[in-house]
């Protein structure tokens, strides 16, 4: 008998309203997964939209031209002014020194602005409104600079050879985000005051930026492209308002993609909970289903009735997850504060919400269909006996629907990803883990079935529980294995990163990086360091900056798009020259030039960069250095130990190729603690154009950044852990009725509650021990990949913490299993037998 849809809906609604409790697990699992995906997607989209909306303000104009170590030429300025209204700024690192003779110093970002700055947004002070450039001889300083040097309004601070009166404490710098990563607080002066500092000398490390404000009808991208074509050898770094902070955008998008995949993995894990919840729910409805079949309902009618119930509850859970996920970016922005690059406002982002909803619906279908198909294909008599006979297999049509849903999930993840291959690999690893755990569950059941049966009743019963008909071994293994694997993975990542920073960096890091040391003052600088610490280690090399404009015979400005991973082509890069192979480098192809080499320019290129650009020994590349093209032949490829805190460069040129260009020196200084304090006070006044960067502060910033990334990963993965716990609870619930049957029979045969509970505790103990070892191997492998391949750190986890984490996680899941078994012990034989 096939009922009309209206009748099916009435039966479905009445039955659902009578006992919605059975589908709570389905609702909880879908809610957790969808809310996580919606929150991550909405946050990523919100930040990206905010970056786009504020593109002009972040960039400081419609088009920005960045030039390293020189100002724009007259011809260049004519072209820029022809395009629109031009504002000029110059930015460099410099030491801020207090007014007193024995004052402390602090590395700062000194920024000289003209009277036009800013084109968009407003430069505001703490105790006042928006302002323009300070008067000549005055300065605006950042809050950190004011606090660290104890300088307020009206105070005096020195930069280079000039003293400035503090005219205000900066509240907001409109283009702060567009300036990129900084190592110190900002200080702003008038462009007319910059020559007084004496900081701009031939070879000084600084960057001139020219922000162009266009007319309302002008196309920023077209203007930028035309200017680049007009000056192809200028070595410019050109950006337009559509992407004012490209590095920030790339980081947010990639982190968002990674977290989205973690969220999708959480949703897949939650899907197992959906399957368990549906199985448990349909087990409670076994009598109703059998009654419907006895009264004439066919399998299709049964399927529609309960599929409508499942879809109704799933839809409600998905809508609730979308609602929570849509407001989470605002909450995260409020909690995170300054951690996020921009604070996303409250806006609905339809695409991530739609994608999250589709994921949730596909997961519900993929994992709910198998138990539903088994229930609808079992005959009525079989349903009455299912508690002891087990369930039927799902039919081919349902199998096809499940496979279609899984393929749709994979296709959606790949099509919406920034890096499809990475997404595909991640999803493959997640499904591979599920298949591996499923295989382990099958192996456990097979071993438990075939090993000799113990004579003691409790171990005998515990082993039988692993392989008997209706056993939930597979669901328990998947739930417990996923939870423990995630526990181990997170602990290994966190402790390995902490140990890398805490143990490795201090052993090899220098005390200072010294920048812009005058070439003619190098001997005096070295002597000052030796006077402070005779055992000091000094590594001093030349420092220049240039832009690759040609490689392998092709011009960079003529490429339609840059090769994937070719970050070295974005803007100017550090250059140096050397007679000897730098420390921390190893030749892997070609050979180093002789110490007395005086021929045409040669260059040694970092091996990974060469691979990305498709270059090899004998190929050529050309760099633009202060507007002059310098062609060079690649003499060797080398690997570089970037994490040794040394002076590492992608490109190292042969002696004589760059010597004539004006430049200064940079150095790493490794000195004793007393010498650090002496040099921090003596070098800035003696070498006002030089900058000292304390490595401790750099590592502190890196630690904060990595900790924030690890916390974001942990927060997303915690949802997966919660979903794994929900799966475990669902597996216990799905097995409850069959365990009640076993418990009643054992009680009638004389077993005590303690014996029944002991057998189940032994069962969960066997699973915890076996899966603890498996999870340790899987979790360590996953953590190794993240730490070594993604963070490029050494893998040095804290094994004591890992052991405690594993024991704690196994203990938690063990306790959940035992607590879930307590209601079974309370079942009365007379009531239980009547319900069977």
* pLDDT band, residue 113 (cuts 50/70/90): very high
Q: How far is CA 343 from CA 53, 256, 340, 347, 667, in A?
A: 12, 15, 6, 12, 38
99 C-beta neighbours (distance < 10 Å), count: 15
String of DSSP letters for 432-501: HHHHHHHHHHHHHHHHHHHSPPPSSHHHHHHHHHHHSTT--HHHHHHHHHHHHHHHHHHHHHHHHHHHII
pTM of the shown model: 0.62
Percent of the chain with pLDDT over 90: 13
Q: How far is CA 729 from CA 207, 275, 814, 819, in A?
A: 60, 12, 11, 10
Q: How far is CA 231 from CA 235, 557, 627, 632, in A?
A: 8, 10, 10, 21
pLDDT at 77 (0 to 100): 92
Which letter, b or e, does each residue of 704-724 get, where b requires 16 or more Cβ atoms within 10 Å of its Cβ? eebeebbebbbebbebbbbbb
Interatomic CA distance for residues 593 and 602, integer angstroms: 8
Long-range contacts of 570-573 (CB under 8 A, 24+ apart): 570/237, 570/246, 571/66, 571/68, 571/237, 571/547, 572/66, 572/68, 572/235, 572/237, 572/545, 572/546, 572/547, 573/545, 573/546, 573/547, 573/548, 573/650, 573/651
Burial class (CB in 10 A: 0-12, 13-18, 19+), 367: buried
Task: List, in sequence order, the alpha helices (H) in 549-656.
Answer: 607-613
pLDDT at 388 (0 to 100): 45
Report whether the peptide linkage leading into residue 177 is cis, meaning its omega lies within 30 degrees of zero. no
Helices (H) and strands (E) in the chain, counts: 25, 22
The more confident residue out of 127 and 346 is 127
Interatomic CA distance for residues 265 and 271, integer angstroms: 10
Task: List, in sequence order, the alpha helices (H) in 666-798.
Answer: 673-686, 695-734, 736-748, 753-784
- Token duo for residue 737: 């009725």
The secondary structure element, H or E, covering residue 52 is helix 24-53
Burial class (CB in 10 A: 0-12, 13-18, 19+), 528: middle
Do 427 and 413 form a contact (C-beta atoms < 8 A)? yes
Collapsing DSSP states into helix, strand and coil, what is residue 311? helix
- Residue ranges with strand state E in 489-601: 512-517, 537-551, 554-555, 573-577, 585-590
Interatomic CA distance for residues 2 and 300, integer angstroms: 7
Over residues 281-291, mean pLDDT: 72
- Token duo for residue 703: 């630690």
* pLDDT band, residue 387 (cuts 50/70/90): very low
Do 408 and 430 form a contact (C-beta atoms < 8 A)? no
Checking if the pLDDT of 180 tops 80, the result is: no
Interatomic CA distance for residues 699 and 450, integer angstroms: 57
Q: Which of 171-185, 280-294, 735-749 has the highest mean pLDDT?
A: 171-185
Checking if the pLDDT of 18 tops 60, the result is: no
pLDDT in tens, 298-321: 777 777 787 888 888 888 889 998
* pLDDT band, residue 503 (cuts 50/70/90): low
Interatomic CA distance for residues 622 and 550, integer angstroms: 5
pLDDT in tens, 204-234: 788 899 999 988 888 888 898 889 888 887 7
Lowest average pLDDT, out of 45-54, 58-67, 132-141, 553-562, goes to 45-54
pLDDT at 198 (0 to 100): 87
Lowest average pLDDT, out of 133-137, 170-174, 202-206, goes to 202-206
Checking if the pLDDT of 705 tops 70, the result is: no
pLDDT in tens, 619-645: 999 998 877 888 999 999 998 876 656
Which residues fall within 8 angstroms of residue 99, CB to CB, at 6 or more apart?
151, 155, 156, 157, 158, 163
pLDDT at 732 (0 to 100): 64
Mean predicted lDDT score pLDDT of the chain: 79
Interatomic CA distance for residues 555 and 575, integer angstroms: 19
* pLDDT band, residue 78 (cuts 50/70/90): very high
Give phi and psi for 19, each to the nearest 5: -155, 75
pLDDT at 193 (0 to 100): 93
pLDDT at 759 (0 to 100): 78
36 C-beta neighbours (distance < 10 Å), count: 32
Burial class (CB in 10 A: 0-12, 13-18, 19+), 428: exposed
Which letter, b or e, does each residue of 297-314 get, where b requires 16 or more Cβ atoms within 10 Å of its Cβ? beeebbbbbbbbbbbbbb
pLDDT in tens, 228-272: 888 887 778 888 876 655 555 566 666 666 666 666 666 676 677
Residue 726 Cα to chain centre, angstroms? 26
* pLDDT band, residue 711 (cuts 50/70/90): low
47 C-beta neighbours (distance < 10 Å), count: 23
Residue 631 Cα to chain centre, angstroms? 38
Collapsing DSSP states into helix, strand and coil, what is residue 102? coil
pLDDT at 336 (0 to 100): 59
The more confident residue out of 709 and 752 is 752
Q: Angle, to 10 degrees, between the axis of helix 736-748 and the axis of helix 799-825? A: 60
Interatomic CA distance for residues 679 and 698, integer angstroms: 18
């Amino acid at each position: 008998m096939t009922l009309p849809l209206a009748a099916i809906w009435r039966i479905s609604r009445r039955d659902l309203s009578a006992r919605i409790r059975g589908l709570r697990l389905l609702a909880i699992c879908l809610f957790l997964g969808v809310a996580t995906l919606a929150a991550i997607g909405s946050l990523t989209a919100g930040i990206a939209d905010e970056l786009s909306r504020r593109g002009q303000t972040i960039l400081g104009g419609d088009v920005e031209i960045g030039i390293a170590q020189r100002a724009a030429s007259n011809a260049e300025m004519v072209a820029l002014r022809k395009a629109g209204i031009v504002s000029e700024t110059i930015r460099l690192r410099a030491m801020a020194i207090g007014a007193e003779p024995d004052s402390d110093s602090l590395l700062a970002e000194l920024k000289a602005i003209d009277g036009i700055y800013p084109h968009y947004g407003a430069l505001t002070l703490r105790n006042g409104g928006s302002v323009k450039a300070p008067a000549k001889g005055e300065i605006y300083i950042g809050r950190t600079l004011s606090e660290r040097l104890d300088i307020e309004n009206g105070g005096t601070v020195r930069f280079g050879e000039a003293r400035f009166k503090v005219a205000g404490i900066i509240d907001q710098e409109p283009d702060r985000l567009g300036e990129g990563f900084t190592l110190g607080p900002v200080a702003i002066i008038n462009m007319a005051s910059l020559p007084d500092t004496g900081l701009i000398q031939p070879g000084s490390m600084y960057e001139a930026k020219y922000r162009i404000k266009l007319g309302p009808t002008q196309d920023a991208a077209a203007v930028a492209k035309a200017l680049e074509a007009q000056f192809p050898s200028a070595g410019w770094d050109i950006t337009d308002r559509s992407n004012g902070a490209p590095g920030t955008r790339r980081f947010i998008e990639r982190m968002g993609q990674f977290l989205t995949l973690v969220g999708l993995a959480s949703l897949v894990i939650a899907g197992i909970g959906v399957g368990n919840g549906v199985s448990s729910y349909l087990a409670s409805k076994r009598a109703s289903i059998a009654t419907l079949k006895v009264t004439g309902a066919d399998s299709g009618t049964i399927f529609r009735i309960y599929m409508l119930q499942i879809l109704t509850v799933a839809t409600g859970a998905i809508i609730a997850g979308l609602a929570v996920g849509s407001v989470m970016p605002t909450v995260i922005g409020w909690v995170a504060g300054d951690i996020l690059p921009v604070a996303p406002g409250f806006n609905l982002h339809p695409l991530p919400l739609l994608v999250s909803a589709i994921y949730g619906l596909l997961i519900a279908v993929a994992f709910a269909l198998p138990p539903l198909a088994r229930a609808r294909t079992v005959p009525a008599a079989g349903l009455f006996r299912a508690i002891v006979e087990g369930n039927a297999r799902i039919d081919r049509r349902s199998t096809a629907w499940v496979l279609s849903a899984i393929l749709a999930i994979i296709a959606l993840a790949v099509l919406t990803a920034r890096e499809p291959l990475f997404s595909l690999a991640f999803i493959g690893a997640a499904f591979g883990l599920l298949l591996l755990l499923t295989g382990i569950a099958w192996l456990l059941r097979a071993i438990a079935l075939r090993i000799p049966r113990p004579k003691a009743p409790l171990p005998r019963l515990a082993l039988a529980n692993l392989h008997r008909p209706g056993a939930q071994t597979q669901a328990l293994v998947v739930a417990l294995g996923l939870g423990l694997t995630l526990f181990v993975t997170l602990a290994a990542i966190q402790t390995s990163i902490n140990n890398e920073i805490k143990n490795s960096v201090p052993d090899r890091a220098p005390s200072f990086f010294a920048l812009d040391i005058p070439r003619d003052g190098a001997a005096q600088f070295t002597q000052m360091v030796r006077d402070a610490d005779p055992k000091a280690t000094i590594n001093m090399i030349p420092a220049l900056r240039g832009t690759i404009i040609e490689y392998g015979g092709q011009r960079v400005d003529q490429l339609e798009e840059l090769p994937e991973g070719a970050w070295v082509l974005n803007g100017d890069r550090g250059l140096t020259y050397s007679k000897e192979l730098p420390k921390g480098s190893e030749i892997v192809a070609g050979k180093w030039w002789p110490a007395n080499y005086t021929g045409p320019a040669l260059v040694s290129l970092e091996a990974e960069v060469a691979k990305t650009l498709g270059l090899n020994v004998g190929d050529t590349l050309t760099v633009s250095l202060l507007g002059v093209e310098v062609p060079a032949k690649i003499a060797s490829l080398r690997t570089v130990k970037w994490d040794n805190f040394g002076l590492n460069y992608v490109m190292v040129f042969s002696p004589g190729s760059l010597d004539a260009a004006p430049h200064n020196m940079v150095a790493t200084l490794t000195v004793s603690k007393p010498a650090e304090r002496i040099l921090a006070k003596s070098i800035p006044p003696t070498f006002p154009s030089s900058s000292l960067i304390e490595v401790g502060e750099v590592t502190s910033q890196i630690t904060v950044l990595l900790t924030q990334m690890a916390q974001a990963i942990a927060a997303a993965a915690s949802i997966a852990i919660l979903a794994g716990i929900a799966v475990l609870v669902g597996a216990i619930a799905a097995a409850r009725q069959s365990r009640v049957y076993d418990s009643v029979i054992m009680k009638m045969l004389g077993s005590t509650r303690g014996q029944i509970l002991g057998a189940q505790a032994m069962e969960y103990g066997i699973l915890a021990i076996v899966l603890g070892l498996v999870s340790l191997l899987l979790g360590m492998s996953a953590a190794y990949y993240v730490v070594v391949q993604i963070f490029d750190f050494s893998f040095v986890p804290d094994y004591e913490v890992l052991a405690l984490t594993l024991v704690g996680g196994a203990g938690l899941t063990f306790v959940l299993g035992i607590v879930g078994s307590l209601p079974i012990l309370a079942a009365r034989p007379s009531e239980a037998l009547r319900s069977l």
